A and B are shown apart, each in its own frame.
Chain A
Amino acid sequence: MFRNRLFIFTMFVVLTIAASPAAVPAHAALEITFWHAMGGTNGKAVASLVDAFNASHPDIHVTQQLKGASYNEELNNVIAAMQQKQGPNVAQIFDLGSAFAKDSGFFTPVQTLLSADQLKQIQGDVVPPVLSYFTVNGTLNSLPWNNSNPLLYYNKEMFTAAGLDPAKGPTTWQDLEADCAKIIASSAAPNCLSLQIYGWPFEQWMALQGQEFANNGNGRAGLATQTNLTSDAAKNILTFWKDMAVKKYWISTGKIEDGTGAKQIFASKQAAMLIDSTGSLGGLTQNASDAGFTLGEGFMPANADVQRVGVIVGGASLWAGAGHSDDENKATVTFMMWLLAPEQMALWHQGTGYLPITKSAQKLLTDQGWFTKNPGQKVAVDQLNAGQATTATAGGFMGPFPQIRTLVDQAIQAVTSGADVNATLTDTKAKADQALADYNSRLTSGAAGTAAATMSATMSGTMSTTMAPTAAK
Chain B
Amino acid sequence: MQPTLQSESPVAPIITKVQVSTRRSTGRPRILSHLALTAICLIIGFPMIFAVIKSTQSVGQIFSYPPVFIPGTHAFQNYADAWTTGNLARLMANTLIVAVAISLGKTALSLMAGMAFVYFRFPLRGVLFILVLITLMMPTDILIVALFRVVSDLHWSNTLPALIVPFLASATGTFLFRQHFMNMPAELADAAQIDGASPFGFLVRILIPLSWNVIGALGMIEFVFVWNQYLWPLLVINDNDKQLVQVALKGIAVSAADLGNWGVALAAAIIASIPPLVVFIVLQESFLRGFALTREK
Contact = CB atoms under 8 A, between A and B. Distances in A.
Task: Check whether chain A touches chain B (CB < 8 angstroms).
Answer: yes
| Chain A, interface SS category | helix
Interface in B252-297: 252, 254-262
B252 A40 contact: yes
A283 B85 CA distance: 16
B234 interface: yes
B168 interface: no
B105 to A, nearest CB: 11
A24 B238 CA distance: 13
Nearest to A20: B93
A80 B65 contact: no
Contacts of A9: 100, 104
Nearest to B259: A283
A166 interface: no
B152 A69 contact: no
A230 interface: no
Contacts of A86: 152, 157
Q: How large is the interface on A (under 10, 10 to 19, 20 to 34, 35 or more residues)?
A: 35 or more
A417 B148 CA distance: 43
A16 B254 contact: no
B65 A83 contact: no
A267 interface: yes
Nearest to B94: A20
A2 B208 contact: yes
B255 A17 contact: no
Contacts, number: 116
B59 interface: yes
B154 to A, nearest CB: 12
Interface in B186-209: 204, 208-209
B234 A68 contact: yes
Contacts of A12: 100
B58 interface: yes
Contacts of B240: 65-66
A69 B157 contact: no
A44 B87 CA distance: 12
Contact of B97 (A16, A269, A290): A16
Contacts of A70: 254
Given A2-B204, A2-B208, A69-B251, A84 B258 contact: no
Contacts of B125: none
Contacts of A84: 148-149, 152, 157
B132 interface: no
Contacts of A291: 59-60, 63-64
A259 interface: yes
B147 to A, nearest CB: 10
Nearest to B145: A80
Contact of B234 (A73, A263, A269, A283): A73
B180 interface: no
13 contacts: A16-B100, A20-B93, A20-B94, A24-B239, A40-B251, A43-B85, A80-B144, A81-B235, A83-B145, A260-B257, A267-B59, A270-B65, A283-B261
Interface of B: 58-60, 63-65, 85, 90, 93-94, 96-97, 100-101, 104, 144-145, 148-149, 152, 157, 204, 208-209, 234-235, 238-241, 247-248, 250-252, 254-262
State the 5 A-B residue pairs at the shortest beta-carbon distance, nearest first: A40-B255, A39-B251, A283-B259, A290-B59, A290-B60
